[in-house]
Each structure stands twice: as C-alpha cells, then as structure tokens.
Structure 1
Amino acid sequence: MMAEPVGNDGALVLLSGGQDSATCLAWALERFGRIETLGFEYGQRHRVELDCRASIRTGLGAIDGAWADRLGPDHTLALDALAQVSDTALTRDAEITLGANGLPNTFVPGRNLLFLTFAAALATRRGLRHIVGGMCETDYSGYPDCRDDTIKALQVALNLGMDARFVLHTPLMWIDKAQTWAMAERLGGAPLVTLIRDESHSCYLGDRTHRHAWGFGCGTCPACDLRRSGWERYRAGVSHA
C-alpha cells in the first residue's frame, strides 16, 4: 500500500536515466507531495542515459495516477567542464581498467559533489528541501563520492554554505542491486520492474543495441555486470531472504 506523502514537502530527485535513479524516483513519489527531477549532461560516454529519462517519467505516471499528479518539472544542466578536467573511461573513449589508485578509471572525480551542489542551488530556487540521489556503498566500484560519510559531510557543508536545511536522501545506500530490483517491485509491482528493466540505462559504453533478460547493454562492462548479477539474484529470490 502506498504511504501517505509527507505533507506538501517537495523533493528534487537526481534522475540520470539509470536503474538506481529510476528506483529512487519511485521511492520519492511514494513519500513526497511534489517531485521535480534533475539530470546532468557532462560529456558522459553513455549520454544515451539522458534519452531514457523522459520514458521513465512517463512510465511512472502511467503506473500510478497519484505519482503522475505529484511529478513536476524536469531539469537538465550542462556540466561540460567536468569532462574537460577529468580523464576517465566515462568521459573519454578509453578501455575500462583499474587505476594506480585502486579505483576503476570510470570514477569521475568530483562528479557527485558537483551534482549535489548544483542540485541544492536549483532546489533553493524551486523551494525544495529534500534532495534524493542513488548513491550506494553496497554495490559500487569503490567511488569515494558514493560513501555515506561523503554524503553526510556534504549535507552539512551545503546547509552551512547556503544557510539552508536540506536533507540528502540516499535510499539505496545500504542495499545491493538484487535488493534494488526488489524495492522496485515493492513500490510499483511488476509494471515498475518491467519499466526499469526496459527503459533505464546502466551500460558504461552506451550500448542499447543488445537486449538481455535484465535490459539493454554491452553485457561486459562493470555496470552491466552489476545489473546482470543483481537481476539474476533477484529472480532467484535471493533478495527476499
């Protein structure tokens, strides 16, 4: 059963077009009275994810009329400078490897810090206090800007620097990909699972020509591996244990 929204509180959801952010959008639609979404174009190799955002929003509205009523404007911001200052496999045509620092070269330094800072600035203008992101410490590649400590520290910094009372929500922080699929099922049943499987995009290479049981992607990059293994464990019922 859908929970009652938290009064008239509004939330801004970081919607990349991927599985995690689509699930977070459904999570927010269940909890807040009005929702706006924000995506970033930063020269990402898998820019096709941005093209998935509209169908995700439309599909969520079709699943639940109350969600459609709560879903407000969508925003996209260009952060081209991020690609200019980074040298990563997400912003360059480069092979995905492990760097000397122990992090995969898909890590874009400062990305989530910038995303949340710009989100807070937009939320200020739009009168939104809650900011929702899909950062996760459980199924991730060791990115330091996905850690819970990072998000908590940034919430403090944003509230001090903007003299605000923002709340940064990360509903996926302590769950894995199988549990993320299960969360989607709890929120919107089979229709939401199907929507996220078919319309969201995770593949780092931007491949939407190969269709798999778990969705579109190259099938070999780290993002596809995580999504596939999570789907298989979800379908096997592991996430319900």
Structure 2
Amino acid sequence: MTISTGALVLFSGGQDSTTCVAWALEHYARVETIGFDYRQRHAIEMTVRPGVLRKVRALSPDWDRKLGEDHVIDLSLIANISDTALTQNVEIKMLENGLPNTFVPGRNLLFMTVAATLAYRRGLDVLVGGMCETDFSGYPDCRDDTMKALQVMLNLGMATRLKVETPLMWLDKADTWALAESFGGAELVDLIRADTHTCYLGERGLLHDWGFGCDTCPACLLRANGYAQYVQRGHADV
C-alpha cells in the first residue's frame, strides 16, 4: 500500500540498498536517495549508483514518478579517523574482538544521523536502510536494537517523529533476492545482478551468476550463497 509519507533511502549502489529503493517505491508516494563517499576501498559503488537509479526508473512509470532527487554526501572524514579493510588496502581478516576488520566503527550511526539531517530539511519523515542481522558480517551497527535506539535518539535530538525502516532486518540473502523479484520481477533481479556492486574489493571483471565481484570477500560470499539458495527455492535462474 502506498501512503503519502516521504522516504529517504540510504542507497550505496549495492544489492540490499537497491532492494530497499524498490521497497520504498512500493510503500511511499515520494522517495529520495542518499549515498556517502567515505573514500571506501570499493569506491566503484559510487560510480554504478546513477546507472542503477536510471534503470530502476525505467522499470515502472509509477516508480519513475515517485523517485525524486539523489543526494551524495562527502564523508571522507571516516577514512581519516578509521583504519579498516574498507578504507585501507589491507587483508580482510577477523580481529581479536570477534569482528571482521571490514567493520567501520560508527559508520552506520553517522550515515543515519546525516540522513536524518537531510530528511529534516527535505520534509521526509522515514529513513530506509538495508541493515540486516540475519545474513550479515556481525556488525553491531546493523542490529535491530541499534536501529531502534538510533530512532529514539534522532527524534529526541531533533524534536521529530522520524521513523527508521529496515525491511531486510529479518531476511536472509535468498529472501532479499525473492523480495526484489516480488517488486520488479525478473527485470529487477537481473538489474541487481548485473548493475549493482557489493564486492569489498571493487572487483567488476567477471559477471558471475549472482553478479560482479571477487567471489572471496565476505560480501561476495553472502551474495553468492544467497543467490544459490534463491534459485534452489524454485525461483527462475535469470
């Protein structure tokens, strides 16, 4: 059901955030997107974003009408104050605290805070993010409790009634592929496969069944395994 509330989607150019754009377009009358340039190692995601949005528009006249402005924010300060495998050219590995060194401390907290600030100015009262704690790398800022607490903090700090939506929170990656199919059919699934970017290493040399990527980093493994399960569950292998 479409309601009149406006939504701002955190859109990286990857599988999850593209699915969230489609979800928002199915639920809200006005949708804008926001992306963050934080000197990420896989900066290719910033390059693919505009093309993904153009193709999403082309899937439906209704989506084209609803999809509004895209905003890109410079958050290079993240790279200046963090030392992680997503901001430095280092080997991906597990740390002593049990988290992978791809975890960028405070990243999603900062993303949401900046997005809330923009949403306030743009008259949008829903933030949509692709955070998930079903199939994920263990990042604490992707947890449902974190997002719920953040919603409270943002509303207290800005005297708003902002709502934080995380439609993928309890879905595994196979479910995420299926959700995209339910909104945009095989065309959206194929768009996500061929045009979005998830690989932490920025590899786009070979198109696999599940999309471009190195096929070895945690993001690629989650995406590839999810796609294989999606096909095994009876969905068409597009």
TM-score, normalized by the shorter chain, greater than 0.5: yes
Root-mean-square deviation (CA), in Å? 1.1
Q: What are the Cα deviations for residues 192-226 of structure 1, in whole angstroms up to 9, with x where unaligned?
A: 00011111100000001121111000111111100
Question: Is 1:45 matched up with 2:41?
Answer: yes
* SS of equivalent to 1:33: strand
Q: CA deviation at 1:9?
A: 1.2
Note the 1:178-197 alignment, pairs <5 A.
178-197=174-193
Match of 2:162 among 166, 169, 184: 166
Q: Which amino acid aligns with 1:88?
A: T
Which residue in 2 is equivalent to 1:236?
232
The CA distance in 2 between the partners of 1:187 and 1:224, in whole Å, is: 23
Q: Which amino acid aligns with 1:105?
A: N
Which residue in 2 is equivalent to 1:75?
71
Which residue in 1 is equivalent to 2:210?
214
Which residue in 2 is equivalent to 1:175?
171
The CA distance in 1 between the partners of 2:179 and 2:48, in whole Å, is: 20
Match of 1:124 among 120, 128, 150: 120
Q: CA deviation at 1:238?
A: 6.7
Match of 1:9 among 5, 28, 36: 5
The CA distance in 2 between the partners of 1:94 and 1:60, in whole Å, is: 34
Which residue in 2 is equivalent to 1:26?
22
* SS of equivalent to 2:87: coil
The 8 Å contact of residues 178 and 238 in structure 1, kept in 2 or not, is answered as no
Q: CA deviation at 1:32?
A: 0.4
The CA distance in 1 between the partners of 2:5 and 2:229, in whole Å, is: 35
Task: Provide the aligned length of Structure 1 versus Structure 2.
Answer: 236
The CA distance in 2 between the partners of 1:200 and 1:102, in whole Å, is: 29
TM-score by length of 2: 0.97
The CA distance in 1 between the partners of 2:209 and 2:28, in whole Å, is: 32
Q: Which amino acid aligns with 2:88?
A: R
Q: What are the Cα deviations for residues 131-153 of structure 1, in whole angstroms up to 9, with x where unaligned?
A: 00000000111100000000000
Match of 1:93 among 86, 89, 93: 89
The CA distance in 2 between the partners of 1:183 and 1:52, in whole Å, is: 21
Residue identity over aligned pairs, in percent, reads 60
Question: Is 1:108 matched up with 2:104?
Answer: yes
Q: Which amino acid aligns with 2:135?
A: D
The 8 Å contact of residues 136 and 174 in structure 1, kept in 2 or not, is answered as yes
Segments of 4+ moved more than 4 angstroms: none
Q: CA deviation at 1:52?
A: 1.3
| Unaligned stretches of 5+ residues in structure 1 | none
The CA distance in 2 between the partners of 1:52 and 1:227, in whole Å, is: 17
The CA distance in 1 between the partners of 2:115 and 2:101, in whole Å, is: 25
Q: CA deviation at 1:60?
A: 1.1
* SS of equivalent to 2:229: helix
